[in-house]
Amino acid sequence: MTPYTEMQQVNSPAAGIGNEHRLLIDVQDLKTYFFLHEGTVKAVDGVSFQIREGRSLGVIGESGCGKSVTAQSLMRIVPSPPGREVGGKVLLYMEQPGGQVDIINVLELAAGGAKMRSIRGKHIGMIFQEPMTSFSPLHSIGEQIMEAILIHEPGVTKKQARQRTIEMLRRVGIPRAERLVDSYPHQFSGGMRQRAMIAMALVCGPRLLIGDEPTTALDVTIEAQILELIKDLQDEFGMALMYISHDLAVVGQMSDEIMVMYLGMVMEHADTDTIFDDPLHPYTVALWRSIPTIEGKLERLSPISGGLPSPYQIIPGCPFSSRCERRMPNLCDVSLPPLKEVSPGHKVRCFLY
Amino acid sequence: MANQQEPLLEVNDLKKYFPVSHGFLQRTIGYVKAVDGVNLAVQPGETLGIVGESGSGKTTLGRCITKLYQPTGGKILLRTDNHTFSVTHLSKEELRAFRRSAQTIFQDPYSSLNPRMNVLETVGEPLLVNGIAHGRELEDRVTQMILQVGLRVEHLRRFPHSFSGGQRQRIGIARALVVNPKLVVADEPVSALDVSIQAQILNLLQDLQEKYQLTYIFISHAMSVVRYVSNRIAVMYAGKLVEVGPKDELLANPRHPYTEVLLGAVPRPSQRKHIRRQISPGEPPDLFNLPGGCVFQPRCRYAADICKEQAPQLQEVSQGAFVSCHLSQSLHLEGIQSIV
């Protein structure tokens, strides 16, 4: 089995009609299931989306929606066992020096193999909610970041790697970087650790940065600093961003387009303004009405009734139907609506449309 | 009553310092000043929201008020119909009565319930311990309470692990309210819950407040949640109360530079990707090593010399609005406009 689905000489950008940004990742019908003793959890159950160079995709959803597992599948870091990608494709478009673009289906690579390791860090970087899980407590921040450089770029000397590390730490706003580079993770505050994690994720210049709730555990004033930092770096490096969060307002600030997930599926996908101003899917609409905001008229919140069903439960029909105010009996609880493009760039999974 | 009611809760110059010890002999080398001279009054029936970031002291303040911590200094008075409690010095009898009057709802629905007690035992325990009810009567009261919080009779004999986070939080709320307290300190009661469940719990808390005439102190780091539930908002920073005032006014026209920073940092739905915000640099101070003068001064863009030398005091600047800042009269600070 060859790890490459196709290797092409592509002279023109692998872009769709009317899209000026080159395609970076094309996820087609991704399915990632967890095979547990109690049953099978279909954490990601048919998710498709594209990320283009320099663009930001926000992913919103609550517990169990599959947003984190989707990102983990892209990076092939889903704990396995019990998890496994069981279907679909994750096509990575990697531009080589010389202009050609290689297309690799990441799902066909060995998760622990050399090729996947070189993709992680060099092509895709990831930052997580809890920076301590990214760093080994036994090594200094500097050593760990340097390691990332030395692994991915053979030919770079230790001295050069250290210099680049210090520069990157400075760039992410760590003061006295030339001294703090030798500090240990526990010596940094939460905000500083998050900055160090961003430095580690970006030091090899990935084309895509995935952030999985990176600011959720931070104080709001520190969060604001980190979000601005990510935006600045994104502009500076021309990176694409996949920003995952349950916080709608934060996702709105960071994204060009937003994907709303529920129980492993995409419910709605549109550009940010549309999701905020004209959402169509009942779940998106209900979410908006149920969250307190800092602006706007103060009205009684309308909670979404019921709760999330058990992850082992097999739900016929639309996963949201049990809680949906606009559910149509004998349709929504029986058949799964397809994800349909109802207007250019706006996809909804709902029989109402 | 036609006359001005006396505050239900009065907090005077409250201090809570945690000693830091060092070395083989465990000598005390200093203190973490978690709460450093807080003055507050809470009216019956209102919801006072307390906001602040890590290290602000809001949780410690909440715990001092319900006597989960013994304050290092200052006074706390709780006025109920029968009795005025001086919380810092309660006799054993008074303590039991106090616990019936002031209760806490905790943040983490997973660690705040004993996994080995079922719902009936958990919600019934306060009644049992306080000698309020037992046996059949206890079960009736518990049943009534859990129905009020949206649970069902069949939940009585189930254990915490079989409930979702939102349901567990309801159990915690039932436990706090079953003794009919006057004051409830809710410390981040919805932060650990999914967004769509938060609304259920927030509405429940509001409904129960109306029904049982409760007074809430609602502690949270989430401005949007505090905005929704509060009548007045108190802002804390590094153990100090920097501003208190009626909610709408505080949000639209903050008077303290830190409040301005805090409001500026909150992500807003109207700010889409292309909008850059003004971000304040720096991090909250080390509570063991506080700066001299005003605690916020190192991060304050308006700081003047007096701010480095003298700590400001909390002063009333208009009806019900208090600020602790040397310069607040001359500053024009930016808040959040509520109608976009």
Residue A293 pLDDT level (bands cut at 50, 70, 90): confident
Mean pLDDT value across residues A271-300: 91
Mean pLDDT value across residues A19-37: 90
**Cβ contact (<8 Å) for B262 and A220?**
yes
Does residue A9 have a pLDDT over 60?
no
Name chain B contacts of A56, Cβ cutoff 8 Å.
Answer: 273
Say what the pLDDT of residue A328 is.
Answer: 92
**Cβ contact (<8 Å) for A303 and B199?**
yes
Does residue A17 have a pLDDT over 70?
no
Q: Which of B166, B198, B199 shows the shortest C-beta gap to A302?
A: B199
Q: Which of A248, A253, A296 shows the shortest C-beta gap to B273?
A: A253
Say what the pLDDT of residue A311 is.
Answer: 81
SS3 per-residue string spanning B36-80: EEEEEEECCCCEEEEECCCCCCHHHHHHHHCCCCCCCEEEEEEEC
Distance of CA A54 to the CA centre of its chain: 14
Round to whole Å and give the CA distance between A129 and A178.
26
Q: Which of A289, A248, A297 is nearest to B336 (CA)?
A: A297
Say what the pLDDT of residue B316 is.
Answer: 92
Say what the pLDDT of residue A14 is.
Answer: 38
**Closest chain A residue to B272, measured at CA:** A253
Total count of domains within chain A: 1
Say what the pLDDT of residue B278 is.
Answer: 66
Residue that has been written with the tokens 């959040």 in this structure? B336
Q: Which of B45, B6, B20, B48 is nearest to B236 (CA)?
A: B48
- Per the DSSP assignment, residues forming a β-bridge with B60 are none
**Cβ contact (<8 Å) for B272 and A291?**
no
Name chain A contacts of B194, Cβ cutoff 8 Å.
Answer: 62-63, 246, 308
User: Tens digit of pLDDT for each residue in A126-164?
Assistant: 998 887 777 898 999 999 999 989 988 888 999 999 999
Min Cα distance A320 → chain B (Å) is: 13
Round to whole Å and give the CA distance between A308 and A283.
12
Say what the pLDDT of residue B287 is.
Answer: 81
Quick one: which H or E segment has residue A84?
strand A83-95
pLDDT: is A77 or A97 the higher one? A77
Min Cα distance B48 → chain A (Å) is: 17
Spell out the per-residue pLDDT of chain B, length 340, in tens: 334 578 999 999 999 999 888 777 777 888 889 999 999 999 999 999 999 998 899 999 999 999 999 999 999 999 998 889 999 999 888 898 999 999 999 988 888 999 999 999 999 999 999 889 999 999 999 999 999 999 999 999 999 999 988 899 999 999 999 999 999 999 999 988 888 888 999 999 999 999 999 999 999 988 999 999 999 999 999 999 999 999 999 999 999 999 999 998 888 888 787 666 667 777 778 888 888 899 999 889 999 999 999 999 999 998 889 999 999 888 889 888 765 4
pLDDT: is B269 or A245 the higher one? A245
Does residue A118 have a pLDDT over 90?
no
Q: Which domain holds residue A34?
A: 6-123+206-349
Residue A7 pLDDT level (bands cut at 50, 70, 90): very low
User: Tens digit of pLDDT for each residue in B271-294?
Assistant: 787 666 667 777 778 888 888 899
Burial bucket for residue A151 (CB in 10 Å: 0-12, 13-18, 19+): middle
Query: Lowest-confidence range among A14-18, A27-31, A70-74?
Result: A14-18
Say what the pLDDT of residue B314 is.
Answer: 92
Say what the pLDDT of residue B272 is.
Answer: 80
**Cβ contact (<8 Å) for A307 and B266?**
no
Say what the pLDDT of residue B227 is.
Answer: 93
Say what the pLDDT of residue A254 is.
Answer: 93
A 10 A CB-CB count for B315 gives 12
Is residue A251 assigned to a domain?
yes
Torsion of CA A122, A124, A128, A133, to 10 degrees: -40
Round to whole Å and give the CA distance between B203 and B184.
16
User: Tens digit of pLDDT for each residue in A193-227?
Assistant: 899 999 999 998 899 999 999 988 888 888 888 99
Identify from A187, A192, A220 which residue to disrupt to test chain B contact, counting B C-beta atoms within 10 A and taking the largest count. Answer: A220
8 A C-beta contact, residue A27 and residue A224: no
Q: Which of A148, A171, A172, A150 is nearest to A159 (CA)?
A: A150
Identify from A225, A227, A250, A294 which residue to disrupt to test chain B contact, counting B C-beta atoms within 10 A and taking the largest count. Answer: A294
Tokens of A310: 């058990």
Residue ranges in B160-256 assigned as alpha helix (H): 165-177, 195-212, 223-229, 247-252
Supply the CATH number for residue A112's domain. 3.40.50.300
Q: Which of A191, A224, A246 shows the shortest C-beta gap to B279?
A: A224
Round to whole Å and give the CA distance between A102 and A118.
14
Q: Beta-strand (E) ranges in chain B?
A: 9-22, 27-42, 47-51, 73-79, 84-86, 102-105, 183-187, 215-220, 232-237, 240-246, 315-318, 321-323
Residue that has been written with the tokens 């808390």 in this structure? B205
- Domains of chain B, by residue range, sit at 254-266+279-340
Q: What values do phi and psi take at B137, rounded to 5? A: -65, -40
Q: What values do phi and psi take at B286, rounded to 5? A: -75, 120
Name chain A contacts of B271, Cβ cutoff 8 Å.
Answer: 249, 252-253
Is residue A169 assigned to a domain?
no
Min Cα distance A236 → chain B (Å) is: 15
Residue that has been written with the tokens 């935006």 in this structure? A231
Min Cα distance A229 → chain B (Å) is: 10
Mean pLDDT value across residues A283-310: 87
Min Cα distance A111 → chain B (Å) is: 31
Distance set, CA B312 to CA A73, A197, B11, B227, B322 (Å)? 54, 38, 18, 26, 12
Round to whole Å and give the CA distance between B284 and B287.
9
Does residue A8 have a pLDDT over 70?
no
Residue A2 pLDDT level (bands cut at 50, 70, 90): very low
**Closest chain A residue to B200, measured at CA:** A303
Is residue A165 assigned to a domain?
no
Round to whole Å and give the CA distance between A324 and A303.
11
Task: Please state the ipTM of this predicted complex.
Answer: 0.83
Name chain B contacts of A253, Cβ cutoff 8 Å.
Answer: 267, 271-273, 275
Residue A15 pLDDT level (bands cut at 50, 70, 90): very low
Q: What values do phi and psi take at B42, rounded to 5? A: -120, 125
B135-148 vs B165-177: helix crossing angle, rounded to 10: 130
